[in-house]
Structure 1
Amino acid sequence: MPAQTFRMGDGRGDENRGDGETPVHEVTLESFGIDATSVTNDDFARFVDATGYRTEAETWGFSAVFHLAIAAPAEDVMGAPAGTPWWRGVKGADWRHPGGRDSDIVGLGDHPVVHISWNDAEAYCAWAGRSLPTEAQWEAASRGGLDGARFPWGDDPHGDDSVPDPTPKPRDGTPWRMNIWQGVFPTENTLEDGFLTTAPVRSFEPNAYGLWQTIGNVWEWCADWWHPGYYGVSPLIDPRGPERGQVRVMRGGSYLCHDSYCNRYRNAARSSNTPDSSMGNGGFRTVDRRDDSPIGAPV
Structure 2
Amino acid sequence: MGFTRALGFFRAPAQAQAPAGMVRVPGGAFTMGSNRFYPEERPAHPAHVDGFLMDRAPVTNAQFSAFVAATGYVTLAERVPDPARYPGVPADRLVPGSLVFAPRADGLHRGPADWWRYVPGASWRHPQGPGSDLVGREDHPVVHVAYADAAAYAAWAGKRLPSEAEWEFAARGGLKAAEYAWGTELSPSGRRMAHIWPGGPFPRHAGEIPPGTAAVGLYPANGFGLLDMIGNVWEWTSDWYGTRHLAPEAAGEAGGKPACCMARAASLDPAQPDLPIPRKVLKGGSFLCAPDFCQRYRPAARQPQMIDSASCHIGFRCVSDA
| Separation (CA, whole Å) in 2 of partners of 1:52 and 1:199 | 26
Deviation at 1:230, TM superposition (A): 3.4
Letter in 2 for 1:8: M
Provide the residue aligned with 1:128 in structure 2: 157
Provide the residue aligned with 1:206 in structure 2: 221
1:261–1:25 distance in 2 versus 1, CA, 3 Å: same
Provide the residue aligned with 2:114 in structure 1: 85
- The answer to whether the Cα contact below 8 Å between 2:33 and 2:245 also exists between their aligned partners in 1 is no
Deviation at 1:231, TM superposition (A): 2.5
Provide the residue aligned with 1:8 in structure 2: 32
Provide the residue aligned with 2:240 in structure 1: 225
CA RMSD of aligned residues (A): 2.2
Q: Secondary structure at the match of 2:55?
A: coil
Provide the residue aligned with 1:184 in structure 2: 201
Deviation at 1:226, TM superposition (A): 0.5
| Separation (CA, whole Å) in 1 of partners of 2:201 and 2:30 | 36
- The answer to whether the Cα contact below 8 Å between 1:81 and 1:88 also exists between their aligned partners in 2 is no
Give the TM-score normalised by the residue count of structure 2.
Answer: 0.76
Gapped runs of 5+ residues in structure 1? 70-79, 160-165, 168-174, 291-299
Q: Secondary structure at the match of 2:303?
A: strand
| Separation (CA, whole Å) in 2 of partners of 1:195 and 1:141 | 30
Provide the residue aligned with 2:99 in structure 1: 64
| Separation (CA, whole Å) in 2 of partners of 1:134 and 1:203 | 26
Aligned residues: 261
| Separation (CA, whole Å) in 1 of partners of 2:210 and 2:308 | 27
Provide the residue aligned with 2:65 in structure 1: 45
Between Structure 1 and Structure 2, the one with more helix by share is 2
Provide the residue aligned with 2:124 in structure 1: 95
Letter in 1 for 2:56: A
Counterpart pick for 1:108 among 137, 142, 146: 137
1:289–1:128 distance in 2 versus 1, CA, 3 Å: farther
| Separation (CA, whole Å) in 2 of partners of 1:219 and 1:145 | 21
- The answer to whether the Cα contact below 8 Å between 2:171 and 2:181 also exists between their aligned partners in 1 is yes
| Separation (CA, whole Å) in 2 of partners of 1:68 and 1:217 | 18
> Sequence identity, in percent?
41
Deviation at 1:3, TM superposition (A): 1.6
Deviation at 1:242, TM superposition (A): 1.3
Deviation at 1:92, TM superposition (A): 0.6
1:4–1:10 distance in 2 versus 1, CA, 3 Å: same
- The answer to whether the Cα contact below 8 Å between 1:219 and 1:281 also exists between their aligned partners in 2 is yes
Provide the residue aligned with 1:171 in structure 2: none
- The answer to whether the Cα contact below 8 Å between 1:201 and 1:213 also exists between their aligned partners in 2 is yes
- The answer to whether the Cα contact below 8 Å between 2:163 and 2:260 also exists between their aligned partners in 1 is yes
Counterpart pick for 1:279 among 302, 306, 311: 311
Q: C-alpha offsets along residues 235-284 of structure 1, whole Å, 9 cap, x if unaligned?
A: 42364221323210000110011122211111100101110100000000
| Separation (CA, whole Å) in 1 of partners of 2:224 and 2:138 | 24
| Separation (CA, whole Å) in 1 of partners of 2:154 and 2:53 | 14
Deviation at 1:195, TM superposition (A): 8.2
- The answer to whether the Cα contact below 8 Å between 1:110 and 1:201 also exists between their aligned partners in 2 is yes
Letter in 1 for 2:222: N
Provide the residue aligned with 2:168 in structure 1: 139
| Separation (CA, whole Å) in 2 of partners of 1:261 and 1:81 | 12
Q: C-alpha offsets along residues 189-212 of structure 1, whole Å, 9 cap, x if unaligned?
A: 469xx9821111111100010011
| Separation (CA, whole Å) in 1 of partners of 2:195 and 2:165 | 23
1:54 aligns with 2:74: yes
Q: Secondary structure at the match of 1:136?
A: helix
| Separation (CA, whole Å) in 1 of partners of 2:211 and 2:315 | 17
Letter in 2 for 1:53: Y
**Counterparts in 2 of 1:233-244, with a 5 A limit?**
233-234=250-251, 235=253, 236-237=256-257, 239-244=259-264
1:195–1:8 distance in 2 versus 1, CA, 3 Å: farther
Provide the residue aligned with 2:93 in structure 1: none
- Of structures 1 and 2, the larger Rg is shown by 2
Provide the residue aligned with 2:19 in structure 1: none
Provide the residue aligned with 1:252 in structure 2: 284
Q: Secondary structure at the match of 1:221?
A: strand
Deviation at 1:125, TM superposition (A): 1.0
Letter in 1 for 2:202: F
Deviation at 1:84, TM superposition (A): 3.0
| Separation (CA, whole Å) in 2 of partners of 1:203 and 1:131 | 25
- The answer to whether the Cα contact below 8 Å between 2:51 and 2:321 also exists between their aligned partners in 1 is no
Letter in 2 for 1:187: R
Deviation at 1:81, TM superposition (A): 11
| Separation (CA, whole Å) in 1 of partners of 2:298 and 2:111 | 26
Provide the residue aligned with 2:89 in structure 1: none
| Separation (CA, whole Å) in 1 of partners of 2:153 and 2:167 | 18
